[in-house]
Structure 1
């Protein structure tokens, strides 16, 4: 039983993952839960941009696996509002954190220090007076405490004008941070599993349901031995069944979007619980991820190209100037930047209320979007690297466009 919780707030924190993509969390709250004056759990609550959430979701960061979540309630996530995640630290790593922190403030300070060391690639060495044990402990903390695989997502939500939408995960029902605590009885764990299973099956009724039911209740007696392995076995599903269920839930706009990318021979992934597809794009000037979103209720289709790097905080004003200059005169679509986390993207969209979305319309929006991102990508990189000012970068791109246009006009007809 939790007898008290200590809180402390942070502005940002950077995680690492096997996807080699930095996960930057904003507006963090660090919470240490105590029982009988002993810290038993460390939780983080933080915000990410929708684009970064798509990356987290697609790569199952923070152990956010599709089969370990309840259905999304109250509609899809919106692309223009932050998404909040609550995560808990793996119970085996809590002692590593508590070696350096006894309060939430100390834990926040230590995690921030590790994040800064990772960002600056600072490694302690013996010449600075550090012992081999200190070096080893610091490297272990860097590799584990800031790794997304060391944290389990409890819930995901977004505040919208119409209310809150989101979902919880299996870890919210059976918290891995408290499994081995004296107060964690098998009856409580069984109740948590049962409650999750009831919510999960409400949206995941498949041929595998009976097998999962048997595994769930068989596993209750062995929860404390090989818990992670048991979970993987209990919730493993046939991929064909999963895809079949997804297709059944698709709605008209999403079906049309899927038809286009299938017919146009794109490789794509449908994001779990969302009417959104993720695709990778390779242009002449770089590679980036794109997201195709079907907004069924609004009868709209939106396509995003996400610039692969985050604009550093000290470059965002200059980048905003560059994007504003780039946007002036654009007819189809526009650049956007999230000032909170530095995400840059190009957006094209269409409202088809009272009409039908066709694959031809989708093709125009998709290819116009990709062409613009690829065209301006060198300028974004130049501004990001401080090689050119915003005005110089735009001037260079426009001059190249003029040369290309002249050469095209001078070329003889084939």
Structure 2
């Protein structure tokens, strides 16, 4: 069923359906979900696409463990400690990142065409089925009620900070049309929102310590307002010894070939190893959603490789 409505210059549509979509994480792991509905809002200022999914308990645990789809601890609202039943599906509401809307609308702005862009097997569609192209805004589960209340329904769950970001996006877009946000402003707003303490080393570099599941390391965010470039570096806390640099360089070369976003770098002079992600927003603007993708991808990748890098450094020591 498709519902269409117009609100000023904005066109909204909805399609109910039932099909399996397999999302891939940056590590290549599968996240299987039953897609139930797609909501599409198209306007000249900003378009938005939302999917309503059902996943098994095990997939929800994958999302939490890997912090996929923006499900970071910092993004989960305080007081949202909800205990879900393991034998019941989990309902997810996920929002497509703005950087992928052009790919989603490549076949047209009709909701059926957008859905086809997701499910077809093509090079253009694969980025739309990557887990880090989406942000989870709501997590819910329907509760089993007593027989006496069999006709009613009750759902428990929580909203993430991405839902709040989506709710206020219209106002922020309106403001940005008259006053373009600076890169530093977006970086500051995001880090403050995620409650990540940081400091500006100078006018172009923000520095913070990030604590992952496997270790702690320094993250640098570099901005260039003139060129409209933003770069995130995760710096491994230990330099690679000279005797391990050849082995490390070979390993990084092979891994960089398979990485979808970003790349590892190593300085042969001092052994510094870092992971780099960057975005060029010339003729556009850096948004919270875009920076989240840049930052989250960076720290998730570094955390995943943290112990592997340590094993190579410690080899034969």
* Greater Rg over alpha carbons, structure: 1
Scaled by the length of structure 2, the TM-score of the pair is 0.49
Judging by fraction of residues, say which structure has more helix.
1
Judging by fraction of residues, say which structure has more strand.
2
